[in-house]
């Protein structure tokens, strides 16, 4: 069986930066995705995996524009510490939830409120201030994947309808500190 659209693919992987330093080693949670889906893995990874078979190994380098994007200094902000609950610490991640404007027309509210907010990482705290970074932790980095195809199967009806593998459910949104990943 070969990897093609409509197949659920399981990959063991190792992730390194462009200098070869390990970001995530083999043996953790595998990548499980629906090949041909839009949200689970980077398009360039899917391109490289198309036509591969069980046991095949693939080495792929992704530049920032093909992975987590360029680092955007405009996504760093400084806020007053008193705006946050007690227990805030460096390294914590906070999801910004969309604010509904009751005065906005219904169409505008529905266009802007996607249900997903930007994740901000607390990078520094001092003198009553908090530094928040909205960039992905791997933004601006070229990354290298070593992928091993460990399973290929046909997607079930639910997976086809949702456009995602049942085991992963939109893992691209997961942060770098777990499944950075795909």
pTM: 0.72
Higher pLDDT, 17 or 175: 17
pLDDT tens, position by position, 134-158: 999 999 999 999 999 999 999 999 9
Residue at token pair 């949200």: 39
- Please give the Cα distance from 24 to 22 (Å, whole number): 6
Q: Is 58 helix (H, G, I), strand (E, B) or coil?
A: strand
Tabulate helix, strand, coil % of the chain (nearest 5): 20, 30, 50
pLDDT, tens digit, for every residue of 76-125?
999 999 999 899 999 999 988 776 655 555 544 434 444 467 899 999 99
* Site of tokens 């219904």: 106
What is the chain's Cα-based Rg? 19
Domains in the chain, please, with CATH?
A: 7-68+138-173 (3.10.50.40), 73-133 (3.10.50.40)
Q: State whether residue 4 is helix, strand or coil.
A: coil
User: DSSP secondary-structure letter at 109?
Assistant: H
Least confident of 4-8, 18-22, 99-103: 99-103
Q: What confidence tens digit (pLDDT) does each residue in 24-59 have?
A: 988 788 999 999 988 789 999 999 999 999 999 999
At 162, give phi and psi (nearest 5°). -85, -15
């Amino acid at each position: 069986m070969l990897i093609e659209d409509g197949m659920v693919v399981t990959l063991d992987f190792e992730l390194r930066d462009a200098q070869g330093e390990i970001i995530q080693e083999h043996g953790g949670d595998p990548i499980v995705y629906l090949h041909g889906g839009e949200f689970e893995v980077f398009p360039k990874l899917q391109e490289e995996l198309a036509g591969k078979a069980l046991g095949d190994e693939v080495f792929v380098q992704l530049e920032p524009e093909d992975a987590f994007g360029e680092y955007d200094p405009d996504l760093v902000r400084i806020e007053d510490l008193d705006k946050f609950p007690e227990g805030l610490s460096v390294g914590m991640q906070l999801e910004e939830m969309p604010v509904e404007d009751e005065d906005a027309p219904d169409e505008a509210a529905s266009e802007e409120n996607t249900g997903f907010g930007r994740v901000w990482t607390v990078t520094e705290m001092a003198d009553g201030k908090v530094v928040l970074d909205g960039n992905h932790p791997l933004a601006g980095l070229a990354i290298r994947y070593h992928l091993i195809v460990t399973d290929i199967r046909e997607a079930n009806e639910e997976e086809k309808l949702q456009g995602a593998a049942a085991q992963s459910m939109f893992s691209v949104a997961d942060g770098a500190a777990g499944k950075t990943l795909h």
